[in-house]
Chain A
Amino acid sequence: AQSVTQPDIHITVSEGASLELRCNYSYGATPYLFWYVQSPGQGLQLLLKYFSGDTLVQGIKGFEAEFKRSQSSFNLRKPSVHWSDAAEYFCAVGGRGSTLGRLYFGRGTQLTVWP
């Protein structure tokens, strides 16, 4: 069964610092991977997604993520964090076969940005 682990519940960084949010997945085949961001009172917004091809994926708002099959990871990165990036970030794996179309989410990482 598909599952996603986000080891860090809460991360605090200073504005302008670099950021890496970790995501590990469990899946038997090539996964479909996503990062979403949830701001307070808002729905989830897609930052980026990986289906195949280049393992370094560029997303919106200056985010990127790298798929590493050998480590079953899909970590999200940003070189310089802005105060507006404070939010909760969710990694998700997309189902295949009988679970096609549904998303399996990690528990999320809350990002706090210090001025």
Chain B
Amino acid sequence: DSGVTQTPKHLITATGQRVTLRCSPRSGDLSVYWYQQSLDQGLQFLIQYYNGEERAKGNILERFSAQQFPDLHSELNLSSLELGDSALYFCASSVDLLAGSFTDTQYFGPGTRLTVL
């Protein structure tokens, strides 16, 4: 158990809908990362938040957005869903005590499996 929790575990929805995925980082971790794992693209970095602020963006679609709240939990919002958005979405967290630290291990949650029908 990494200490990172994600809810829900599974989500089934229809095209055009909007969903919210939730992540609670390990206690004390300031950085949260979101990754998407799909058969087509493999594991891809989406976005990173550090202590409530967006730090880095990867291949995140405009239909997707995220935020990190004062209690450091994070939500990933996916809207106007398409079939191709079906994937496993991982959240990871790291301590990142020094802004820009590269040595911190990222601890991954179990993921949320999204199925768009």
Contact = CB atoms under 8 A, between A and B. Distances in A.
Contacts of A49: 105
A68 to B, nearest CB: 21
A99 to B, nearest CB: 7
Interface residues of B, number: 27
B4 A103 contact: no
A96 B94 CA distance: 16
B45 A103 contact: yes
Nearest to A41: B110
Interface string A66-107: 000000000000000000000000101010101111111111
B96 interface: yes
A43 B42 CA distance: 14
Instruction: Report, as a range, how many residues of chain A touch the other chain.
Output: 20 to 34
A43 B106 CA distance: 11
Given A43-B4, A101-B33, A103-B33, 11 more contacts: A36-B108, A43-B111, A49-B105, A51-B103, A94-B102, A96-B102, A98-B56, A100-B102, A102-B48, A104-B45, A108-B43
- In the A-B complex, list the 3 residue pairs whose CB atoms are closest, starting with the nearest: A43-B108, A105-B43, A44-B108
Interface of B: 2, 4, 31, 33, 35, 42-45, 48, 55-56, 58, 90, 92, 94, 96, 100, 102-103, 105-111
30 contacts: A32-B102, A42-B110, A43-B90, A44-B90, A44-B92, A45-B2, A46-B105, A46-B106, A46-B107, A51-B102, A90-B43, A94-B102, A100-B56, A100-B102, A101-B56, A101-B94, A101-B100, A102-B33, A102-B45, A102-B48, A102-B58, A103-B35, A103-B106, A104-B45, A105-B43, A105-B44, A106-B42, A107-B42, A108-B42, A108-B43
